[in-house]
Structure 1
Amino acid sequence: MLAGSLLLTSCTAHVPAPLPSPAATISAVAPSLGSPAPTVARKGPVVVLDPGHNGGNASHPREIDKPVPAGRGETKPCNTTGTATKSGYPEHAFNWDVAQRVGALLTARGILVQYTRQDDNGVGPCVDRRAAFGNDSGAAAVVAIHADGSTSSSAHGFHVSYSDPPLNEAQGQPSVSLAEALRDGLRQAGFATSTYLGKNGIYPRDDLAGLNLSTRPAALVECGNMRNAAEAAAMSSPEGRARYAQALATAILAYLKV
């Protein structure tokens, strides 16, 4: 796996108009975080949000353990259960909540938002199907939302991954630019870059199926370490998740230049 600092691209210099507050936007656009923001016909670009894992995965080990294509001639398990804070707040719930908040903010700005899963109590979908969903949508950007589970409680900070070396044109500069925009948005919002993976918040990888199989600009965000007390507290609180969502939505809009 390669890890190196990357030059900023022109898309990260674009500063979109201020977003409405997350609470107000979610109330107006997606009244229930248990349901995806409504799909409305719009003229803007399509963004696919991929909230990692799912709430029913743990109770269906046979289904999520089956091997599926992972790109580069490899296979991986269909899906995994994800991690959790020491107090038991699960990653799948964090991913789902933040994705809904990001989606509401983007929808309010005229972006057509789609999700790779429609609830937080189902199983899967498998990682190859998540990639196919983004590909079939013709998305301008595919953003996978996760949280990490390092065994070291002192490890902290976010990192953003893209497929490297690239397997197609979209995995080249478009995905690099998306990853950099997400990195810059989180950093500008006050989140620290990872102290334990990657460099300057960027961690290129060749082993993530959702990125390897993508034919659209795609990046995966590990928002922080759920085993770190401070980051676990932020992820477990609605206010903390709203901060993550605001940063990610602003970054996506900067990448789209809208």
Structure 2
Amino acid sequence: IIRLTNTKPPVNFNKLDRLSEETAPLLPWRPPTLCPGCAHRASLYAIKAASQRVARDYGKHTEPIYPGDIGCYTLGYLPPLEAVDTTICMGASIGIANGLAHVVKAPIVAHLGDSTFFHAGIPPLINAVYNKANITVAILDNSATAMTGFQPHPGTGYVATGEETTPVKAEDIAKACGVKFVEVIDPFDLKKATDTVERAIRFDGPSVIVFRRLCAIMEQREKRKRGEKTVPYYIDQDKCNVKCDACIKLLGCPAIIKENGKTIIDSSLCTGCGICAQVCPYNA
């Protein structure tokens, strides 16, 4: 446009590009990650742990498949969770899982959020029932459309204007679609969550698990409104094996950091969810 109109640009873009290149190395490297206390971290951990357990029954070279979707949980693609194999469009997680189920012999666990499920996950779930796809669908229900600004959806219980309405339950939709195995669990109960996912994968036919836990950001907001204090966890250095790093390698919570050769919890970030305590082999 500038060349066509023969005008002088108000900004020296060449200079901006040069400055950007010069200053980029000065910025700290920060990969996108799930928030501290995010329930999706626990849900994806349980999904991965259970599916890997079942995969052993298929043979030592069998890997579980995790069709993913669009939302905060897409960040589970990154280490250490690495629990997302595909991300195409809203609702594609179940659709891709449907196709794979008829050609691949392996645990297939599709996951998507509550908002995404209501938007585009119901038709492919019906397809899974209709075509007898042996898949597990995990609905990560945090009562929020968090990644795009906390817009309400049919499961939140209120409309865009803030007016209250009747909430629609994802598990009721799943049952109405004809799914025989439908369970609702709290992802912060890691053992129960993992065991439930394993039972769902072993079920003959499509299965649905609703991981229900309020978005960590919303939970903290509600606590502040009620005047409640968040009690952060801490690591007992006498018990901690600093060479272990299970809490870091398995969860990748931003609140768990290394400082002066020790593994510590940043109390300003910790929400007190407690899933790190559940994966610690030293009870530290």
Same fold by TM-score greater than 0.5: no
Q: Determine which structure has more spread, i.e. the larger CA radius of gyration.
A: 2
Bigger strand share: 1
- Relative contact order (C-alpha < 8 Å, sep 6+): which is higher? 1
TM-score w.r.t. structure 1 length? 0.32
